[in-house]
Each structure stands twice: as structure tokens, then as C-alpha cells.
């Protein structure tokens, strides 16, 4: 992903004061964000399986902001605008029951495969009970945290996250 992030004022203040209560792992990512390195360069330096999720959290909490693509261009040399790492896709108005069921099934199947039913039964019950994409989106962070809590899930987390974001 040819995207570059820079620290916001809040991000610089966090580096100086440590007032945000960031975990050492998240703080390390924040330190490495410099407005020059692309996400791919950060991935090579940090080698975190959940780097995109961590960057997304920092972006949501306004510690960092996207400043643009690193040379990403589309047809006819027109720059491609970057998309937020945390953004859910925009879907046509109205709830699509097929897409909703697909997202629900994906969340349930990945929880069972990577974590198991025992540790996530409460989350699985809430996923099953979700009646709208908004309800599933509210469970997204909890789902992702459960996935990265397992060794195998951690390896596949970014790919699974991307697939779910396409339908949810």
C-alpha cells in the first residue's frame, strides 16, 4: 500500500508527554510514522502482522493522518486519492440481506476457525443477532482483536480484515 502517514499535533504531543495511554507496541508504530515512510516501508521495519490495524487505530484516534499516496497513480497519470485504512465500504442505500448474511457468516467462520467457539461464544451470539451492517460494524474491532489473539489468526489478520471490509 503506497500510503504515507504523518503525526498530527496530538501525535507529537503523545510522543512528548505519553498522556494517551498507548501500549508500547502502538507507541512504537507512532514513533516510526514520520510523513516520509510509506506503509510498506513501515511494514518492513516493524514486521507487525497487525500493522494496518494499528495504523487504523492511530488514525481513528487522530494521532496520525494520511498525507497522500507515495507515487500512486491511476490511468492517464492522475494521482489516486488514498482511502482511509479504517473506512468501511460504501454500499448502495438499503440493507442487502445477502451481503449481511455473507458478512455474518465470514465473521462466525473465522472466529470458529482461528479462535474457537469456547472463547468467543458471547461475540458469536452478538454477530448472529446483528440485523444490520451497522450492528456488525460495531462488532468489527472486537472481532479483529479476537482474530489477532490467536497465533494462526495473527498471520492471516490483515487478509481477513480486508476481505471482511469488502462486504461489511
DSSP one-letter code for 168: -
Domain boundaries in the chain?
3-77, 97-167
- Give the helix ranges, DSSP H, for the chain: 9-17, 24-32, 39-46, 51-60, 97-114, 117-129, 133-138, 140-148, 151-167
CA angle at 106 for the pair 105 and 112, rounded to the nearest 5°? 85
State which residues of the chain have pLDDT below 70: 1-2, 68-94
Give the pLDDT confidence score for residue 89 in this predicted structure: 60
Give the pLDDT confidence score for residue 53 in this predicted structure: 82
The three cell numbers locating residue 55: 495504523
Q: Pick one of 3.30.70, 1.10.10, 1.25.40, 3.40.50 as the CATH number of 3-77.
A: 1.10.10
Q: How many CB atoms lie within 10 A of CB 141?
A: 14
Give the pLDDT confidence score for residue 131 in this predicted structure: 92
| Distance between CA atoms of residues 4 and 24, nearest Å | 22
Amino acid at each position: 500500500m503506497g500510503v504515507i502517514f504523518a503525526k498530527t499535533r496530538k501525535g507529537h504531543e503523545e510522543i512528548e508527554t505519553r498522556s494517551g495511554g498507548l501500549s508500547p507496541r502502538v507507541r512504537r508504530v507512532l514513533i516510526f510514522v514520520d510523513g516520509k515512510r510509506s506503509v510498506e516501508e513501515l511494514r518492513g521495519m516493524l514486521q507487525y502482522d497487525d500493522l494496518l490495524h494499528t495504523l487504523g487505530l492511530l488514525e481513528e484516534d487522530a494521532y496520525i493522518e494520511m498525507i497522500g499516496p507515495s507515487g500512486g497513480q491511476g490511468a492517464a497519470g492522475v494521482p489516486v486519492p488514498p482511502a482511509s485504512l479504517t473506512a468501511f465500504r460504501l454500499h448502495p442505500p438499503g440493507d442487502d440481506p445477502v451481503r449481511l448474511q455473507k458478512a455474518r457468516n465470514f465473521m462466525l467462520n473465522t472466529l470458529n476457525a482461528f479462535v474457537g467457539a469456547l472463547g468467543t461464544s458471547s461475540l458469536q451470539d452478538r454477530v448472529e443477532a446483528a440485523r444490520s451492517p451497522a450492528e456488525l460494524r460495531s462488532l468489527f474491532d472486537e472481532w479483529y482483536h479476537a482474530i489477532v489473539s490467536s497465533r494462526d489468526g495473527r498471520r492471516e489478520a490483515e487478509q481477513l480484515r480486508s476481505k471482511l471490509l469488502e462486504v461489511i
